[in-house]
Amino acid sequence: MPAVVQLKDIHKTYDSGEVPVHAVRGVTLDIAGGEFVAVMGASGSGKSTLMNLLGCLDRPTKGRYLLGGTDVSGLDRNQLADLRNQKLGFVFQGFNLLSRTTARENVELPMLYGQRRFSSKEIRDRALHSLDIVGLSNRADHFPSQLSGGQQQRVAIARALINDPQILLADEPTGNLDSKTAVEIMGVFQKLNEQGITLVMVTHELDIAHYCKRNLIMRDGRLVSDTAVSDRLIATVEMQKILAAEAAAKLTA
């Protein structure tokens, strides 16, 4: 498959403070279609900055970023917004859903800001389809406050999927979740990946990274390790183990 993401000697320097902070110092990276990449690193290693650059929320100070073959490093604010809308999907650690807005309306949000106009019915149908992919079509009219953490994150994933993005970016998607729900979310990701969706996620948990296919490690703004995952965990299998353990705990109790 052709490379979806090509980073060529990407640098990012923040000048806002007294001392310029060189957060990313020359990252060169190719991510092909269908990959499932985990970016790891200690805090301050530059992995979040790299994610913001990948997600077109920020522009590199130096270097070239090709997304789906087109150079996006020189685009302006509105062009980047359109790119985020059409080609990228975001999943955040804190879910970032609009409160007092139903799950379906949250999922519809990116479609409302697209350059193309859709009929209300089309928007609704696609939102429901998206919710169906993450297994929440029966919760469409619930508000975020009525959903569990795992469910909220799945709504966020449905929102990220609605415009058929080329790549799904997740920033610590399991950071706010307990281990069992984390496995559940990784299961959703693995299922999406099997359907051909490219995923890049940031995590600091090694075991979570083991659900991915490729692990990158960053330190001081540079990539220091790039390895394929050999002993990959499969979420459905892990979930079976957890359920079995729970059942056993109840038996012995």
**Binding residues for other proteins, per CB under 8 A?**
52, 55, 57-58, 77-78, 81-82, 84-86, 90, 92, 96-98, 100-101, 109-110, 112-114, 117, 159
- 77/250 with CB nearer other proteins: 77
Shortest CB 231 distance to other proteins, Å: 34
Shortest CB 225 distance to other proteins, Å: 26
3-class SS letters over 117-134: CCCHHHHHHHHHHHHHHC
- 53/140 with CB nearer other proteins: 53
Shortest CB 89 distance to other proteins, Å: 9
- 84/154 with CB nearer other proteins: 84
- 131/235 with CB nearer other proteins: 131
Beta strands in the chain (DSSP E): 3-14, 21-32, 36-41, 62-67, 70-71, 88-91, 167-171, 198-202, 214-219, 222-228
Which among 178, 179, 156 is positioned nearest to 169, based on CA atoms? 156
Q: Cα–Cα–Cα angle for 175, 204, 92, nearest 5°?
A: 40
Shortest CB 235 distance to other proteins, Å: 26
Beta strands in 156-236 (DSSP E): 167-171, 198-202, 214-219, 222-228
* Cα distance between residue 224 and residue 98, in whole Å: 37
- 96/176 with CB nearer other proteins: 96
Shortest CB 209 distance to other proteins, Å: 23
Element (H, E) at 186: helix 179-194
